[in-house]
Amino acid sequence: MRSLRDALGQFATGVAVVTAVTRRGDRLGVTVNSFTSVSLDPPLVLWCLSRRAPSAPAFAEAGRFAVNVLAAGQEYLSRRFATPLPDKFAGVEIHPATGEVPLLAGTLAHFACRTVSTYDGGDHLIFVGEVEHFRRAEGEPLLFHSGGYRAFSSPDREMAFGGVD
């Protein structure tokens, strides 16, 4: 399994924090790199969560979620929401969205969604959501590759530093 995980880690991904609110009003948040667009019409996105994650049942029941696409320099948010803490939102600036799902401030994009389907994905759950609201900002993304955070490199930067012609 470790060798498969290492091979899959060669695919560079962005990093996002998925947030939600339980029916009791408790906020949920988890770091993911399994986020993708599914459809533009209707606007659908998906993300995956380990069945072993303590928050998996709560996300499955929440009915709504938001995907917050992290910007370069937001490693602290990625680490915070990947760590089991009593209150992952303590000290984190948030904004309410559709359905009161918390949105993280300063991200490159967010997608507030209504969960339309949850699928079995082996040891993971696959959440599909219809985008009800979104926003984008300018900036560089937070990237993850081969087990670590990486800096985005533009072609202009590569040429300036002796990149491939």
* Residue 105 in domain: yes
Average pLDDT, the chain: 89
Q: Which of residues 70 and 100 earns the better pLDDT score?
A: 70
* Residue 165 in domain: no
Domain with 67 in it? 2-160
Whole-model pTM: value is 0.88
* Residue 83 in domain: yes
Mapping DSSP to helix (H, G, I), strand (E, B) and coil, where does residue 123 land? coil
Residues 79-101 pLDDT 10s:
999 999 999 999 999 986 656 79
Number of domains in the chain: 1
Q: How high is the pLDDT of residue 4?
A: 84
Confidence label for 154 from pLDDT (cuts 50, 70 and 90): low
* Residue 143 in domain: yes
Q: How high is the pLDDT of residue 98?
A: 56
